[in-house]
Amino acid sequence: MQTIKVKASKEYDVIIGQGVLSLLGKKIKELFGDVKVCIVSDDTVASLYSEKAKKYLGEENIKNELFVFPHGEKSKSPEVLFELLEFLASKHFSRKDVVIALGGGVTGDLTGLGAAMYMRGMHLVQIPTTLLAMVDSSVGGKTAVNLKSGKNLAGVFNQPELVLCDLQMLLTLSSEIFSEGVAEIIKYGVIADRALFELVKNGELVENIENVVARCVSIKSEIVSEDEFDTGKRNLLNFGHTLAHSIEKMSEFKISHGNAVAMGMLLISEIAWKRCLSKERCQDEIIDALLENNLPVSCPFTNSSLYYATENDKKSSSGRISIIVPEEIGNCKILNIALAEFKELLEL
Ligand SMILES: NC(=O)c1ccc[n+]([C@@H]2O[C@H](COP(=O)([O-])OP(=O)(O)OC[C@H]3O[C@@H](n4cnc5c(N)ncnc54)[C@H](O)[C@@H]3O)[C@@H](O)[C@H]2O)c1
DSSP string, 67-85: EEE--SGGGSSHHHHHHHH
Q: Which residues contact 329 (CB under 8 A, 6 or more apart)?
A: 189, 190, 194, 197, 280, 282, 285
Predicted confidence at residue 277, as pLDDT, reads 87
**Residues 279, 282, 284, CA angle at the centre, nearest 5°?**
140
Residues 6+ apart with CB under 8 A from 120: 95
Residue 335 phi, psi (nearest 5): -115, 125
Is 0.85 surpassed by the pTM of this model?
yes
Phi and psi (nearest 5°) for 118? -65, 120
Residue 195 pLDDT exceeds 90: yes
If you measure from the C-alpha of residue 99 to the centroid of ligand 1, how many angstroms do you get, rounded to a whole number?
A: 18
Strands (E), 70-222: 98-103, 123-128, 142-147, 150-157, 162-166
- pLDDT for 315 beyond 80: no
Give me ligand 1 centre to Cα 243, in Å.
19
- Secondary structure class of 247 (helix, strand, coil): helix
Pocket probe for ligand 1: among 14, 18, 73, 129, the residue whose CB has the most ligand atoms within 8 Å is 129
Write down the domain spans for the chain: 2-172, 175-201+227-345
Rounded to an integer, the average pLDDT of 133-152 is 93
Per the model's pLDDT, the better-predicted residue between 236 and 320 turns out to be 236
Q: Give distance in angstroms: CA of 341 to centre of ligand 1.
A: 33
Res. 314: pLDDT tops 60? no
CATH architecture of the region 2-172: 3-Layer(aba) Sandwich (3.40)
What is the C-alpha radius of gyration for the chain, rounded to an integer number of angstroms?
A: 20
Distance, CA 110 to ligand 1 centroid (Å)?
A: 11
Query: What is the mean pLDDT of the segment spanning 168-194?
Result: 97
Residues framing ligand 1 (Cβ under 6 A): 42, 44-45, 48, 71-73, 76, 103-107, 109, 129-130, 132-133, 136-137, 140, 142, 152, 169, 172-173, 177, 180, 257-258
Mean pLDDT for the chain? 95
Where would I find the beta strands (DSSP E) of the chain?
A: 2-7, 11-17, 37-42, 64-69, 98-103, 123-128, 142-147, 150-157, 162-166, 320-328, 331-338
Nearest to 68 by CA among 94, 47, 91, 93: 47
**Torsion angle (degrees, nearest 10) of CA 161, 197, 238, 309:** -130
> pLDDT value at position 49?
98
Q: What is the architecture, at CATH level 2, of domain 175-201+227-345?
A: Up-down Bundle (1.20)
Helix (H, G, I), strand (E, B) or coil at 5: strand
Q: What's the pLDDT tens digit per position in 219-231?
A: 999 999 999 999 9
